[in-house]
Structure formats: C-alpha cells, structure tokens
Amino acid sequence: MKILVCDKMEMNAIEKMRAAGLTVDTNFEITAEELPNVLPNYDGCVVRSRTKIRQPLIDVCPNLKVIVRGGVGLDTIDADYARSKGITVMNTPKASSASVAELTIGFMFMLARNLYKATATMKDEKWEKKAFEGDEIGGKTLGLIGIGNIGREVAKRAAALGMTVIAYDPYVKEFAGVQLVGLDELLAQSDYISLHLPKTKESAGMIGAAQFAKMKTGVRIVNCARGGIIDEQALYDALTGGKVAGAALDVFAEEPPTDWKLLKLENVIASPHIGAATKEAQGRVGAEVAEKLIEFAKNH
C-alpha cells in the first residue's frame, strides 16, 4: 500500500509504517495545486490541518482507499463524500486531548490574572504592581460547550482547581462530576465559557449576539476548538461593549486571519492554532496514525 504523508509528522511513526511493509512518501510542503497531480498515485494519505481533501480532489483519485487526519475533527476533509466513494476516513481524536486541555486551562489563568498585559508592561520596563488585580479561578463556574474527549480532560483539570463545571452537549447523557444543562442555562451561569466541539453545519456561528446577550456581564471566553463557531464580529462587539471581560482564542474563522481588529483588542489573547503543538501530543498523533494505517493495510 502506497501512502503519501502531506503534512509534518513524527519520523519514527513513518519508519514504523515502513517497517510494517507500507510504502510511505513524505511531502510536507505539497500545495493544493500539486495534489491533483500527485495523490492519484497513492492508496492512502495522511493530513493534518494544513492540507484539505475536498470533493474535486477526491474525484481525481480513483485509487484512494484511506484518508487519515492526524488530529481532532474532520472539517478539513469532505468526509461524507469520501465515504460515499468507498474511502475509509479516520482521525486521532484522543491523541492531543491533554495538550489542548492544558492550553485551555493556561488561557484561563492568563485571563484571570492579566498575565499578558502584566508581562508586556514589564518588557516596557514598567513596574505597575497595583494595576493588575485579578481573580482566582477556584470557586468560579466553568461552562463547557461540548464534553467529548477534550472537554472531559478540561473538566477534570478544572474540577481539581476548585471550579464548578457544567456542560452543554446534546450527544452526552452524563459525565461524572459535571452537571449537564441546556445551552441557555450554561450561558447564564458561567463565569468562564470554553468551547470543545467540532465545527459542523449545526455549530457554525452558534455563539452570536443573541447568545452573548444571555451571558453574565464579565464572562470570559476560551476557544481552542474551531474557528467559526463563535461569530467573531459579535465577539468583538461583546468585548468592546463590556459584556465579555476577556477572550482567549487559538482558532479563527480564517487561518491566518485577514482581519486583525479582534486580536488587537487589549482584552484578547491569542495563539496561532497551537492546541496540539506539544512534543507529547505529536508523538501520540504519529503513533496512532501509524497504528491505524498498519491495521488498515492488514485488512485490505
């Protein structure tokens, strides 16, 4: 079986696949324009968030049998269409959960203690000791929108820090230590709201002006899930209007953004989609990709 790895992956995982008898080529910089000429020669491909596998590309790849997305979510792949063509589509939903959860918690601490602004003033050689009174996150209510693999890891860590954790997820009936509530109740009760759900037709734009109006004044928002679930203009208005005290964003409707006004607000901290960017997560992602492809090759 011939596999093309289109995005950067741990070399030990690639060598593991080769040792198992797979022919594995790597092209970590392959462009969308090059893919239609190259991918038809392969039985399978591995992608991360950079490479998109859409219907037109699938249509010119009659030999394609399997697509593996190293990471959480399948929004970069026309997965339903691929499956309708008999192509197996897989991802690695658990491999990066702990890393994304830790970034979420880190963002919450940064928002609570104004750490970004405090650091910036120190770099400007200012000693503004009295300007940065913050809050403890212990005793606050964290509302999780989505309580899948990552949401559950966040819930465990938040509970250990003394937070009350509530969650909205229409696909989950119970999770120990977390009260499941309706979305409106979560919006009204939460001091912090963190998103942990895929971007789908149902979830796109689900947090907009109407939802911000239902939140506590002074709420803080964290999004390490997917861009486009939050209406960015509505978030901008909520941040500048005083409804939302601060936001921490790792994902954006456009990546990289073309409109930077949201990110330039003083009460916004941001990172360039690095939720899974830890050595540990990358190792687990690579290992899981290799295991899935080796198993697939054995059975096909």
Catalytic residues: 226, 255, 273
Interhelix angle 97-113/115-123, rounded to 10 degrees, is 70
Cα–Cα distance for residue pair 159/68, rounded to 1 Å: 33
Give the pairing type, strands 66-69 and 164-168.
unpaired
The first and second tokens of residue 101, run together, are 């959860």
On whether the CB atoms of residues 149 and 97 are closer than 8 A, the answer is: yes
* Kind and range of the H or E run holding 37: helix 35-38
Cα–Cα distance for residue pair 56/134, rounded to 1 Å: 51
Bridge-partner residues for 167, per DSSP?
144, 180
**Across the chain, where does the E strand assignment appear?**
2-5, 23-26, 44-47, 66-69, 88-91, 141-145, 164-168, 179-180, 192-195, 219-223, 244-249, 268-270
Ordered strands of the 66-69 beta sheet: 23-26, 2-5, 44-47, 66-69, 88-91
Cα–Cα distance for residue pair 3/27, rounded to 1 Å: 11
Cα–Cα distance for residue pair 76/274, rounded to 1 Å: 16
